[in-house]
Structure 1
């Protein structure tokens, strides 16, 4: 991946959770293919042994329970050859640290272990402590090993180093550029003492640092053994071939996608100081076997802590592209080599010092990942080979909760709650999104058991459960997000709360699918006895009911730090995944099942999905009255979209069939599916037009189909109307013949929605799929 412009060469490493099982066999010139596969398998096994070492030694729940870390092996240049199964955002930053050392000519020797966390060099933010080690065999650096993990606190003006009121990076904790912590095998105690003096959790951070050292030692020992068995040249040749093979695989995949331009914008609200709206704007251009990602239209950097640095942007791109475009291909640097990233300095996604970047991972990096995910999936949806893999945005935000204070024994404690990883997964074209499956950038998402969190911190859960109606509605429903309500078991503690996505629906859908539900945060006095005794109180606490919820004050997106006592309750609900397709196309029996399981409310079944339920809460297909009423209601809802009488829309409309010929298209004509109900059709004279499956002609000569669709303001849930950012609005688009939903756009009130897809209609041959679509 080639970013432009950058002050120094910016890395583009990748990752490899599936490398041991997916993709073509690695081919290294001149090597026995069996030996190549064995060495490849051993390299991936070493990466997993690094994970085992890290989790065995670490005392941080972020590492041991939530797997918020990275392990990987790099080529001498700093390019990835392997990666573990954890956070894909963190691939690029460790490579940036290595390249920083190489660019500065740092003198290195066997046994050196370098530590850093500077977000303007390689980290995502100061909480992401990273270490790398040159792996030396016979006096030559033949590879690098890298490790990175989130630390609960690295100093700064607020516990957790996330400081909503910060105005400069120096207020956000210790910055370590790139320092030898271990010099030739000897720990530099003075450096370690300096780092631990800056954190409020020296025991936890210190144990993690020792876990890092153990992890790198494992990598060094295992790689030396491997070189001793098969030869250094063989190992390096296999690592290089792994990267080259992955590059060839992703270039071939890009050639299977149509050429054109995709425009996507997502937003985050509130910079910690004011509730200003910030845009991460992406123009993605796909040509042949290359992809250019241009973020130049994004907002200028913020005065508050929501920014990310350029390494953070590169991490976001890697976090989105690797799992979305890299399926079946080993995850390493090769996946990103065909990708160029363009963005000037000084944007909210390329902030420069002294801009604060403390919440980068859960703010701008997360949103940048959303837009890249949407752009790639828009292209996948228009590819006959991969349309079934198209997916809406997953878990578009992470609502953060940190807790600190003194426990009942007077000892300082600190917690970064990882439960918000249980957001909903986006819907796929051929199945619903899994519930509480987490964000796209965490291939193996984990959260701690409730009991584990209650044992390690003075927390008490009132509930942790799926949140009804949070999955984006659609023909395929987005996965539900989860929700928690909790209190503390000490008289007083300090909470730090922040999020985006409370005023912005970030988990957008595709092809008429609705976004997942918004974040909701409330805080207030609960129905608890006046007692600080945890055992007595635990027997009296009951789950929050509707009356309790009404008594709570809604928190804004960045309430920041506030006290919480054992008579207070904090409740939060996270975003679900986006949906795919018109909700009125969802099978009524699937809607009924969702209602029976408590995933969708009866009101949503009727008003959103147009399904009339029987008295027992099910859609009784054998009951002619219920089936008839459902058909009638869906017709009325389609007519409402068009602003016409019900008799003006057809009772029956075209089904969603990937190979079905659209109405008005001659059998044998060439056409390409763009989404559920949009088809790009070739005319007899070789020109193209876009029509719906129900026969409505929307545009000639381009894919800007919104020109001919019906624009309307959809009915939004009350909670969206009351919390949507004042600078935003929602516009929906319908087929003018049938009233079926074609798209739902979230955009600024003072701007029209963008034409998201501009395919190159002149493209021919394998570089453009249009000439061979149907």
Structure 2
């Protein structure tokens, strides 16, 4: 039966009001989404799906709003909805059993490798909703293996683009369409199996939703779907009203477009008013000539990738979380590129960097909220260094690998605990990577090592999680490696409240009989043999708070566990070990820390309050904007002030506290990296009296750092916000 999808969906009139039944239906919808995941992973032969969970499954309302999603990649929540809305806007006529495939970044995908499928869920002739699935395919054609080409100047060079095509027509697979898609790929067997896994996934959703509707009624199911989204919206809006109003300005950078080592800016101005968020990316760089751009769909994915996990804790994840969000940016930016701009590496370049700035902005608001400050987090794993491998295996068969190990970057520190090691980015809530043995079994890859990389976590009172590192080669006479990243010259995993960034990416290649050489951010393709060694260290998470405030006992533990070296302990944390190396020399440590604070100021500092005592000294009506930044209302003038725990006033009448702080050029320690991009500078901000580090700004050389936080102080008056102890 053919159904025009602009026909009104099932009416929710007559839906059951029994709350037990409604909760059962809600739980079944979530379970169906997980059954979709199981179907996808059971049929797929791609390690990207089966081992690394780089995919998305979800159920959608008739208008394309997602009702459920798995805990895989939060970037990928909006794109399938964009594909559905594209079909709706075209007035496409569909029938039961149709399955539509697409991957066009200028319609809804993040990049061409993200193949997506959707299915109208038609029950007894009426449109109840949609099911959607999406996953990264290792190769979808183009001028280079893996469809990521540093040489690309146009999107047509990057692989097959599928707008929105019926792959299954009324339950019948269109073999001609499938053959056309597979012919474009260098890995047709792998892509073909994944596409059949997509179909199986959508079939599971259709069968389960039909059964659910027949048992409890179509009106009840649709009503519950709407309610799930409405409830999530209400909960997140209530949470937003608990955060202060104001404007937050954050920036991040990505280097090298595959051709020139230019620096591109992702600029985010977040305006928070009441229960809504407005993200403005107008200050970002124009679109690049190379493949680092994202389309507008990628921008939406990057925003969702940070908003959902940062604000959605304790709330069902669906479209309701994004309803309070508005995004603005003109066309033609590096994050809103228009055809024919190449966008092949969007997910690991512009989209990822968008997620970084959104995360940084939201966490500044969380830190300024007494109720949620303990959840404030530095940026996690600010990039994904990409390694692809292709060639012929020992049997002469073509193989291809998209290595997902780089998901083992470090998690950003939290205000009340260290970041987890190798915990990955926030956009992958349940990250996983293949066992070494699995990768070596499926492809001729050989690991020399895979381990945590000491010193990669951003230094701070709370330390960022460590990133991991690998040394790999091949077990066949020769293969082709494709290597690219950003963050080799940009510390993307920035800290918060004086915390240092996590380490930058380091990519090295040692050919047989030669010394290792640094590859930089975009070396592209090169041959690799069993006598060669490729090594890469991924970014750690950013730190929170002045590293000189970290408990020396915690630093000693870090040394004992191999997380921090003795050199880093001394250089970043000012911790000196006793002669036996098994304990802290308290006197030497106090002297070293005072010396470092003096170096920041250029003069001897006054005594700094112990970080433990700081908590006890915070007035009950103060709001903490950082470890050593307190927003208080002056009793004498009635004006809000930002001051330190020692009583040094940095600003009055605004939260632009940098006006009263001491500014100095900060040299990042060797543990972060020494290859800072020539267009970047790092500025530190310290208390002018004590030398305590208040913030670290990574900014364009020759440009003044900006105030990142301008709170609406009247909102504190309206809400009667007080701080208490939320350290």
Q: TM-score range by the shorter chain?
A: over 0.9
Please report how far the alpha carbon of residue 524 of structure 1 lies from its aligned counterpart in structure 2 after TM superposition. 1.5
Per-residue displacement from partner, 1:162-183 (whole Å, max 9, x unpaired)? 0001000000000000000000
1:716 has 2:681 as partner: no
Alignment of 1:491-530 (within 5 A): 491-526=477-512
Name the structure 2 match of 1:542.
none
Distance in 1 separating the partners of 2:702 and 2:119: 51
| Secondary structure at 1:462 match in 2 | strand
| Secondary structure at 2:95 match in 1 | coil
Contact map agreement 1:400 1:420 (CA 8 A) in 2? yes
1:96/1:766 Cα in 2 relative to 1: closer, same or farther (>3 Å)?
farther
Name the structure 1 match of 2:683.
731
Aligned with 1:152 (options 138, 156, 163): 138
1:606 has 2:570 as partner: yes
| Secondary structure at 1:154 match in 2 | coil
1:589/1:614 Cα in 2 relative to 1: closer, same or farther (>3 Å)?
same
1:375 has 2:361 as partner: yes
Distance in 2 separating the partners of 1:525 and 1:649: 53
| Count of equivalent residues | 712
Name the structure 2 match of 1:661.
617
Name the structure 1 match of 2:558.
594
Name the structure 1 match of 2:603.
644
Aligned with 1:137 (options 113, 123, 128): 123
Name the structure 1 match of 2:711.
759
Please report how far the alpha carbon of residue 659 of structure 1 lies from its aligned counterpart in structure 2 after TM superposition. 5.2
Please report how far the alpha carbon of residue 686 of structure 1 lies from its aligned counterpart in structure 2 after TM superposition. 2.5
Task: State the TM-score, normalizing by the size of structure 1.
Answer: 0.90
Please report how far the alpha carbon of residue 56 of structure 1 lies from its aligned counterpart in structure 2 after TM superposition. 0.2
Task: State the TM-score, normalizing by the size of structure 2.
Answer: 0.96
Per-residue displacement from partner, 1:29-68 (whole Å, max 9, x unpaired)? 8611111111110000000000000000000000000000
Name the structure 1 match of 2:396.
410
Distance in 2 separating the partners of 1:719 and 1:653: 27
Distance in 2 separating the partners of 1:611 and 1:113: 61
Name the structure 2 match of 1:233.
219
| Secondary structure at 1:246 match in 2 | helix
Q: CA RMSD in A?
A: 1.7
Alignment of 1:235-314 (within 5 A): 235-314=221-300
Contact map agreement 1:308 1:348 (CA 8 A) in 2? yes
Name the structure 1 match of 2:326.
340
1:618 has 2:574 as partner: no
Runs (5+) with no aligned partner, structure 1: 1-27, 528-547, 621-625
1:526/1:430 Cα in 2 relative to 1: closer, same or farther (>3 Å)?
farther
Please report how far the alpha carbon of residue 763 of structure 1 lies from its aligned counterpart in structure 2 after TM superposition. 2.5
Contact map agreement 2:246 2:272 (CA 8 A) in 1? yes
Name the structure 2 match of 1:384.
370
1:58/1:418 Cα in 2 relative to 1: closer, same or farther (>3 Å)?
same
1:674 has 2:625 as partner: yes
Per-residue displacement from partner, 1:270-303 (whole Å, max 9, x unpaired)? 0001000000000000001111000000000000
Contact map agreement 2:548 2:574 (CA 8 A) in 1? yes
Aligned with 2:474 (options 475, 488, 496): 488
Alignment of 1:114-133 (within 5 A): 114-133=100-119
Distance in 1 separating the partners of 2:641 and 2:597: 24
Name the structure 2 match of 1:691.
643
Per-residue displacement from partner, 1:646-678 (whole Å, max 9, x unpaired)? xx421x51435685334xxxx66x321111100
Runs (5+) with no aligned partner, structure 2: 1-13
Contact map agreement 2:60 2:67 (CA 8 A) in 1? yes
Contact map agreement 1:258 1:770 (CA 8 A) in 2? no
1:175/1:316 Cα in 2 relative to 1: closer, same or farther (>3 Å)?
same
Please report how far the alpha carbon of residue 484 of structure 1 lies from its aligned counterpart in structure 2 after TM superposition. 0.3
Distance in 2 separating the partners of 1:133 and 1:44: 17
Contact map agreement 1:255 1:766 (CA 8 A) in 2? no
1:597/1:765 Cα in 2 relative to 1: closer, same or farther (>3 Å)?
same
1:278/1:189 Cα in 2 relative to 1: closer, same or farther (>3 Å)?
same
Per-residue displacement from partner, 1:484-522 (whole Å, max 9, x unpaired)? 001111111111000000000000000000000010001
Contact map agreement 2:303 2:354 (CA 8 A) in 1? yes
| Secondary structure at 1:160 match in 2 | helix
Distance in 1 separating the partners of 2:581 and 2:19: 60
Contact map agreement 1:595 1:618 (CA 8 A) in 2? no
Contact map agreement 2:284 2:333 (CA 8 A) in 1? yes
Contact map agreement 1:256 1:766 (CA 8 A) in 2? no
Please report how far the alpha carbon of residue 636 of structure 1 lies from its aligned counterpart in structure 2 after TM superposition. 1.3
Per-residue displacement from partner, 1:207-246 (whole Å, max 9, x unpaired)? 0000000000000000000001110000011110000000
1:255/1:704 Cα in 2 relative to 1: closer, same or farther (>3 Å)?
same
Distance in 1 separating the partners of 2:588 and 2:362: 39
Contact map agreement 2:139 2:185 (CA 8 A) in 1? yes
| Secondary structure at 2:146 match in 1 | coil
| Secondary structure at 2:418 match in 1 | coil
Per-residue displacement from partner, 1:303-356 (whole Å, max 9, x unpaired)? 000000000000001110000001111100000101100111100000000000
Per-residue displacement from partner, 1:138-160 (whole Å, max 9, x unpaired)? 10110100000000000000000
Per-residue displacement from partner, 1:449-496 (whole Å, max 9, x unpaired)? 001110111111100000010000000000000000011111111110
Name the structure 2 match of 1:628.
587
| Secondary structure at 2:253 match in 1 | strand
